[in-house]
Chain A
Amino acid sequence: MQTVFFYVFAALTVLCALMVVANPFSRNPVTSAMFLVLTIVSLAGLFVQLHAFFLAAVQVLVYAGAVMVLFLFVIMLLDLKEEERRKVRKFAVIAGGLAVAIIAVLFCTAIGQTTAGIGVQPILEGGTAALGELLFKHYLLPFEILSVLLLVAMVGVILLSKKDLK
């Protein structure tokens, strides 16, 4: 049963992610944003299967909720029109398709021949207390580095998007 659910959610995630960037039916950015919501929700399903219930809830609340609202705001504020269709170059499609096919074959054979790894025992059972403990003790340093990373992103966004007045 677990495996079935995994494959369902995994397929949904990949399919929706594909629709975000290459939707054959619509070139509207709002549609892309909506498919991004679906991608995030399917990802949350995968988190549930890993017993990371809190993470799944946060994923839906923060990403599918708050962040997506911001995305939509930006799209509406910029008043984006339907994206222009780029001319598809035959050579690029053939080369890209070939590369993807080769990688897919390599992957499938590799996965078919591999022996199961050690695997990872879930160290968290969903609770927020355990998560906080882990974040502020064992993984304190990567957590703090991420805060510096966010600072860099903020400075960068302001710098690159600001109009130079002078």
Chain B
Amino acid sequence: MNAFSYLDLLNLLGPETILVLTSLAALFVDLGALRDQPLPRRWLAGGGVTALGGLLAILWLTNVTAQANLAHGILVVDPLTQLVKVVLVAMLLFTVALSLRAEFTEHVGEYFCLLLLATVGMMFLVSSEDVLTIFVALELTSLSLYILTAFNKRSLVSAEAGLKYFLFGGVAAAFTLFGLSLIYGLAGSTNLREIATNLAGKGTDPLLMVALIMVVMGFGFKIAAVPFHLWAPDAYQGAPTPAAALIASGSKVASFFVFAKVMALGFAGIEGNGAWRQFAPGWVPVLATLAVASMLLGNLAAIAQSSVKRLLAYSAIAHAGYMLLGLLAMSNPHRRADGMAALVYYITTYGLTTIGAFGVVQIVERTGGDSLENFAGFSRRAPLVAVCLMVFMLSLAGIPPLAGFFGKFYLFTAAAGAEPGNLGLLWLVIFAIAMSAVSLYYYLQVLKRAFVAAPAEAAIAPVVSFMERLTLALLALAVVVLGALPAWLLGPIADAIKAAGF
């Protein structure tokens, strides 16, 4: 038991502290000062307070360089975690910018408070290597997101989605906790690196495998991998659109990052083998199965969707499958840094793209709904937004020179090179490439409606605020620039990984 200075702790947790205080400020400002003001002004004020806090947190993260590992990994702060936290806060800011014209609720203060606290949970999730803190942070994130999903109290769909998300999440959390306690019993430690050391001689002990599967269940739920994906389409469809954007972006980033850490650090030594016809038990074949199932079901089910939000949900499931390839690439300790770099690049660009896509869906929703028919002739009604939609959809499909293409490229090369010499995971990479070809069909379906189909007679031009235009344009620009100049993001990621000694 090592004591540490509370002042050090506060210094390391500056950004999180700022965000927690901002969440309280958002509550007080809205409930105290602005109670009788008109709703648009309250949204603006709440969003302003939140954005201010977010910007301060980003300033802190980029300017205060600290590296520490407190109390056996309970708090780990290094350049890599700081970088991922910047990404998380940026995603929060984009979500906030898209919610300023929202009309789904009158509880403005609570909405921003929960957005901020969900982000705080994700930040804690990222900067920990101790399963206890990881579990607590996971619960903080999940609980905030359940409430955000059910936030629209005028809609039955929202309540149903919230309940479904909550029940699935509760069961998944129970399985994770059970698995983690089995591991605690087997390894006698909650620190990921110590777990790996203590489990070294265990090989493929059956109880260890049971624990492994249980842990994978919980994280599989968070990242919406098949067969733990059942909540995702309902939650994405039922949740207020900006909240769905945060669930699809920030929560994904944090969950994948911590999932990768748990697998690569905590279960180092029991990777098993996922190479074709050389399967050996361990976490690699388990995750490979999840990846194949997610890519297959996600892409095929997306084709049949008529609601674009559901389509994005199934596309998110498919993308979770691709991203699992990044985790598999980390199974080789010597190539771990490559896999991590590819994964962080992919989740960052994917998150930005998804927020943009949900932003466009939100605008289309104002003209009636989010079904494919509502997209008909969208390019003639809102040209700029339609162009942004095209960028996002093509990036999700992985068309060069957009960020989605380079994300997939790095991810697939990292996975193929995980076992140098014998290209063990090549079968999975080939499958992933084939599936991304399938995905092009439904992304183009949306674009076909928007650009080719004639608008319905009664179609009205949607109202697009300046802030939304700016946000969507920024996101689209980011997707194009990060695709054209991937080194701008990959360089810092690689430096951070090197500095973190991952």
Contact = CB atoms under 8 A, between A and B. Distances in A.
User: Are chains A and B native binding partners rather than an unrelated pairing?
Assistant: yes
Interface of A: 106-107, 109-111, 113-115, 117-121, 133-134, 137-142, 145-146, 148-149, 151-153, 155-156, 158-160, 164, 166
> Residue among A109, A117, A138, A149 with the most chain B CB within 10 A?
A117
A114 B2 CA distance: 34
A99 B144 CA distance: 31
20 contacts: A107-B210, A113-B207, A115-B205, A117-B187, A117-B202, A118-B188, A120-B184, A138-B2, A138-B72, A139-B71, A148-B117, A149-B140, A151-B117, A152-B144, A155-B113, A156-B114, A156-B143, A159-B151, A160-B153, A164-B154
Interface in B131-165: 132-133, 136-137, 139-140, 143-144, 146-147, 150-151, 153-154
Contact of A117 (B3, B117, B186): B186
Contacts of A115: 202, 205
A114 B75 contact: no
Given A120-B188, A134-B1, A141-B74, A155 B132 contact: no
A164 B105 CA distance: 10
A114 B198 contact: no
A117 B195 CA distance: 12
A118 B186 contact: yes
Contacts of B133: 141-142, 145
Nearest to A117: B186
A68 to B, nearest CB: 20
A117 to B, nearest CB: 3
Interface of B: 1-4, 6, 9, 13, 20, 27, 70-72, 74-75, 106-107, 110, 113-114, 117, 120-121, 124, 132-133, 136-137, 139-140, 143-144, 146-147, 150-151, 153-154, 184-188, 198, 202, 205-210
B187 A118 contact: yes
> Residue among B121, B146, B206, B209 with the most chain A CB within 10 A?
B206
Nearest to A163: B153
A148 B20 contact: yes
User: By DSSP majority rule, is chain A's interface helix, strand, loop, or mixed?
Assistant: helix
Given A138-B71, A140-B6, A156-B147, 4 more contacts: A114-B208, A117-B207, A141-B9, A155-B147
Contact of A141 (B3, B75, B143, B146): B75
A151 B113 CA distance: 10
B74 A145 contact: no
B206 A145 contact: no
Q: Which 10 A-B pairs have the closest CB atoms?
A: A117-B186, A114-B207, A110-B206, A118-B188, A156-B147, A142-B136, A113-B206, A149-B140, A110-B210, A145-B136
> Residue among A107, A120, A141, A159 with the most chain B CB within 10 A?
A141
Nearest to B201: A115
Given A115-B205, A120-B188, A159 B71 contact: no
A164 B188 CA distance: 50
A69 B72 CA distance: 39
A146 B121 CA distance: 10
Given A113-B206, A145-B136, A155-B113, A138 B74 contact: yes
Contacts of A160: 147, 150, 153
Contacts of A151: 117
A166 B105 CA distance: 11
A155 B198 contact: no
Nearest to A114: B207
Contacts of A138: 1-2, 71-72, 74
Contact of A145 (B70, B137, B210): B137
Contacts of A113: 206-207
A155 B27 CA distance: 10
A151 B139 CA distance: 13
A109 B206 contact: yes
A146 B2 CA distance: 21
A160 B107 CA distance: 10
Nearest to B118: A152
A139 B206 contact: no
Contacts of B74: 138-139, 141-142
Nearest to B107: A159
Contacts of B114: 152, 155-156
Nearest to A130: B1
Contacts of B72: 138
Contact of A119 (B70, B188, B210): B188
B185 to A, nearest CB: 5
Nearest to B150: A160
A152 B116 CA distance: 10
Given A148-B120, A148-B140, A155 B110 contact: yes
Contacts of B147: 152, 155-156, 159-160
B219 to A, nearest CB: 18
A141 B144 CA distance: 19
A156 B151 CA distance: 9
A160 B151 CA distance: 8
Contacts of A141: 9, 13, 70-71, 74-75, 124, 133
Nearest to B70: A141
B235 to A, nearest CB: 16
Contacts of A140: 6, 9, 71
A153 B110 contact: no
B198 A118 contact: yes
Contacts of B121: 145, 148
